[in-house]
A and B are shown apart, each in its own frame.
Chain A
Amino acid sequence: MANFVLDFEKPILEIERRIAELREFSNSEDMELHKEIERLETKAQKLRLEVYSKLTRWQRVQLARHPNRPYTLDYIDNMMTDFIELHGDRAFGDDPAIVAGIGKIDGIPVTLIGHQKARDTREKIRRNFGMPHPEGYRKALRVMRLAARFNRPIICLIDTPGAYPGLGAEERGQAEAIARNLFEMAHLPVPIIIVIIGEGASGGALGIGVGDRILMMENTWFSVITPEGCAAILYRNSANAPQAAEAMRVTPPDLLELKVIDRILPEPPGGAHNDHVAAAHIVKKAILDELAQLGQLKGEELVLQRVAKYAQMGVWSE
């Protein structure tokens, strides 16, 4: 993975680089150096806590987009066994921006669906930067219906800057594909767990994002439009994205307060991009917890609870 550092990560990484240097040149007897290393480690730890405890909403958006963050396939690698990816919507084609398949988590057979971003240019283009076309949503629905028939829980990992706004997408009914998924996911009689692992933008995220539990990793965002898109419309300038992120309140604590999500999953020190294995472990444990609870409910109860959950969302006065 290429080295990519956000501005506010720099002072921490600078100390870590010093520590690594000292380690390299120290011999085991040099007590002075050991003390210095220890001192720097404490300092790095303190700084990390300080920086991460007061991230602005915009900084959180940047972390969610960090190119070293684990993507859906990284989570699959680190938390599933026997995964087989399933391709195609049986009507038009296969959309590489959405990965769907079957496999096991801790021995439990599950269906997993997720947006897929990529790191190198060619792969990024092939994955369309995680922006699905209608066939992606229809593939997801096909695989989810299969899960429902065989009573398998469904896990959806959300990480998209939005559904793709293009000619083909409109011709093939982007709006219909997303709407259909919202409608069908509302009454699939198996547990559905949503985990927002990066970006959660608009209908593109929601199209595979309706479920019984909505969990959000600590350094992610979720809203009705990207901060840039919002800024372009309301401020007539996408450079106002940081203000838009503030105004729309896009971070996990905001959404927990607004009762949009159920739970925030803390990330490994310095963010999920620093430790893919630890991040996957956290997500895996959360999924198993939730499955244990949801597994108690009958299909019909699940559906009624799910519809009721969404029925409560929103704030109005009367």
Chain B
Amino acid sequence: MEWFKRVTPGLEPQTKRELPDGLWIKCDNCGEILYKKELDRNLQVCTKCAFHFRMNSDQYIQLLADEDSFVEFNRHILPADPLKFKDTKKYSDRLRDAAAKTGLEEAVRTGRCQLSGMPIILVAMDFRFIGGSMGSVVGEKISRATDIAIQEQKPLVIISASGGARMQEGALSLMQMAKTSAKLALLSDAKLPYISILTDPTTGGVTASFSMLGDIILAEPGALIGFAGPRVIKQTIGQDLPEGFQRSEFLLTHGFVDVIVHRAEMKNHVAQILSYFAQPAAPGKKIRTAPKPRTAAVPVAKSAKSRTAAKGKKTRSTTERSPRENSADE
């Protein structure tokens, strides 16, 4: 199931080579000159070689959610700079620049929507915002989205696109891996389906937490998916990496992806899978009823305290607000 061979290496930013007049784009993979409008119509997939260009969260929401059905929640959760981190650039400046460049508050968007008429909780990461990296806000928004899925008894769909955990928040970023995975354990206990969609790239701490925990894992063709980045592996083993290493097809071969799905087919696939899980047991046959979900309610941490983030802004943790309140910003 290989539509094409991707020749661009690793985690390098995918550059859509726009030609000077702005109407044409050169395909990174096959070199074909593509009419921009044609590429837009074709869901950012090369009409000649089926190379999947990266898409942003808007485009993915449009791809999966029924028209005008997506209602975002928790946009008001904003990044802080708990470590006062500075390398060659201040983290606070990086955040501000990323926000200005993308119009996003963070690297993930979460909300309710309909998918082919079925209500779901949808999470879409956005690689443009600091490489889609996961810090406290990404972890918190995904955790709350999972809480809401449990509370409203809805399936969860997460589209991953990330270079991994965000270094600028140190161990706090690392702990988001445990946090999101722990919430998914509750979702699983509540017998609600979670579909994980892997896009280019999905690596590091994101792959090693919620991305790989889907009940069903779908991947776009040719996406880079792995734990360690190709450059680190190459350096460690001191040899070139085999062709196709860490691509979707490689993961399928090794048993870590259920289905590779062409972008044009993605919505249909997700809908079909969701309807399988949603359908009541076949009539006439006696089926042992499953025990009631153990954790319909979200556990409340008694010790949850508000914390003070950078600049003395009041911060609070998820457990202080009910999911209803969470969506107050809609």
Contacts and interface: CB of A to CB of B under 8 A. Distances in A.
A307 B183 contact: yes
Interface residues of B, number: 81
Given A163-B227, A174-B228, A247-B86, A311 B183 contact: yes
A175 B207 contact: yes
A268 B24 CA distance: 68
B56 interface: no
Contacts of A317: 77-80, 309-311, 313-315
Interface string A218-259: 000011110001100111000000011001111000110011
Quick one: which of A224, A309, A313 has the most chain B CB within 10 A? A224
A210 B164 CA distance: 19
A85 interface: no
B80 to A, nearest CB: 5
A291 interface: no
B175 interface: yes
A186 interface: yes
Majority secondary structure, A binding face: helix
A180 B309 CA distance: 31
A306 B140 CA distance: 16
Interface stretch (A17-25, A63-71, A94-102, A165-173): A165-173
Interface residues of A, number: 62
Given A174-B228, A203-B177, A234-B88, A167 B245 contact: yes
Nearest to B313: A317
Interface string A124-161: 00000000000000000000000000000000000000
A312 B304 contact: yes
A170 B82 contact: no
B319 A179 contact: no
A201 to B, nearest CB: 9
B186 A179 contact: no
B256 interface: yes
Contacts of A106: none
15 contacts: A165-B227, A165-B228, A167-B237, A170-B246, A179-B208, A202-B174, A203-B227, A230-B167, A248-B171, A309-B301, A311-B183, A311-B318, A316-B79, A316-B80, A316-B136
Interface of B: 76-80, 82-83, 85-88, 135-137, 139-140, 143, 165-167, 169-179, 181-186, 188-189, 204-205, 207-213, 225-229, 232-233, 236-237, 241-242, 245-246, 250, 254-256, 299-301, 303-304, 307, 309-311, 313-319
